[in-house]
Amino acid sequence: MQPITLALSKGRILTQSLELLATANIVPIQDIHTSRKLIFKTNHPQINLAVIRATDVPTYVAYGAADIGITGKDTLLEYPQENNWYEVLDLKIAQCKLMSAKLIEEPPITGRLKVAAKFANIASRFYAARNEPVNIIKLYGSLELAPVMGLAHRIVDIVDTGKTLAANHMQADELICNISARLIVNPASMKVHHNIINEMISELSSIITQETT
């Protein structure tokens, strides 16, 4: 039987994901951080790793190109239309908060509230649930610049330490949701590779329980 493929997210989740997998005795044969390869064999002959963009992980899993994936809850909430997966485990890593933020000395707001967001769909749903009309401005980075330069009144972004906000004279405003990395599984893969996937889920669940108790 072909090895299963576990899709890992590039960026801030990757190192913590590899550390968690190593605790479960799943270790890539090559150093992922220094190699230019994107697919890696592991010490487990039935498991390969693929390193891809975090926002693409749900798509790879939904279409069965990857059997399992690790990505942030923020990504799963932003792309609910591709939800052909099972979210099976909160891995309790890469924890942070998705929040709205504003300038510490915010000038008076006239007209409709303008919100800059990387997670435009989440932001839209958040304000719609409050019946608050807003204009959502989709940005891909450096969101703190938007209020400083007058593009938007607020931002919706991941907040970890809050240091970047403070450095740009901003402060966190409202909590939208708590974020952490999640393990997702393709439904067909769960049937075909039932034993190995359930074994992985069980092992990771046991490790997480031990580390959080």
> For the chain, what is the mean pLDDT?
93
Asked if 102 and 173 touch (Cβ cutoff 8 Å), the reply is: yes
Q: What are phi and psi of 69, to 5 degrees?
A: -145, 155
pLDDT score, position 81: 61
CA distance 88 to 177: 19
Q: What is the pTM for the complete model shown?
A: 0.89
- Torsion angle (degrees, nearest 10) of CA 196, 198, 203, 209: 170
Identify the pLDDT of residue 82: 61
**Tens digit of pLDDT for each residue in 82-96?**
678 999 999 999 999
CATH number for the segment(s) 96-178: 3.40.190.10
3-state secondary structure of 77: helix
pLDDT per position as a tens digit, 155-210: 999 988 888 999 999 999 999 999 999 999 999 999 999 999 999 999 999 999 98
User: How many helices (H) does the chain have, and how many strands (E)?
Assistant: 8, 11
Q: What is the residue-wise DSSP string for 96-128?
A: EEEEEEEETTPPPP-SSEEEEESSHHHHHHHHH
Q: What is the pLDDT of residues 42-71, one digit of tens each?
A: 999 999 999 999 999 999 999 999 999 999
Element (H, E) at 52: strand 47-52
| pLDDT level of residue 212 (50, 70, 90 thresholds) | confident
pLDDT tens-digit map of 137-149:
999 989 999 999 9
Consecutive H or E run containing 18:
helix 12-23
Return the structure tokens found at 122. Answer: 């989440």
Residues belonging to the chain: 213
| Nearest residue to 143 (alpha-carbon basis) of 124, 165, 162 | 165
Q: Which fold has domain 4-94+180-211?
A: D-Maltodextrin-Binding Protein; domain 2 (3.40.190)
Residue 79 has a pLDDT of 81
Q: How far apart are CA 167 and CA 144, in angstroms?
A: 9
CATH 3.40.190.10 segments of the chain: 4-94+180-211, 96-178
